[in-house]
Structure 1
Amino acid sequence: MKIKDVEKQVGISKANIRFYEEEGLIHPARNQENNYREYSESDVEQLREIKKLRLIGIPVQEIKDIYENRLRLYRKHYLTD
């Protein structure tokens, strides 16, 4: 999915989408032919969640911490013996 489609679906600007990518909150794939970003449904859902968290006043750094902790818990639960 292209960034303009994500912008319409989520209701946030291209600049904010790119900012969240720079902050490591989303990780869109890159088209190997043209190096354009390709957003997945997972990226869109994550951006919707980020938007909701920002609307209630949660800072970006705290959102990053939430996602990092979520990843740690996932790894601990599913990837350890």
Structure 2
Amino acid sequence: VEEELLDLHRADECSLRLAQIPGVGPVGATLLMLKTPDARLFESGRAFAAWLGLTPKDHSTAGKTRLGVITRAGDEMLRSVLVVG
């Protein structure tokens, strides 16, 4: 399975570029390519992070912003690979 994953990684130019980011290796880059939609669909990096489930939950009242824990939205495997990286 690891060999097939590396073959898939080496065949995709975007996956190779993603693997150059510190903390993102072949597994993370391949998962990002396979599981995420086109990046142009997101308004910003924060919108992408929210889609992944990496933004804190908002508990705001009366004009006071209170951020809670990281939400459990998004793909759990992809989020865990990126957080561990």
Q: TM-score range by the shorter chain?
A: 0.3 to 0.5
Highest RCO, 1 vs 2 (Cα 8 Å, sep ≥ 6) = 1
Q: TM-score, normalised by structure 2?
A: 0.35
Rg (Cα) greater in structure: 2
TM-score (norm 1): 0.36
Per residue, is there more helix in 1 or in 2? 1
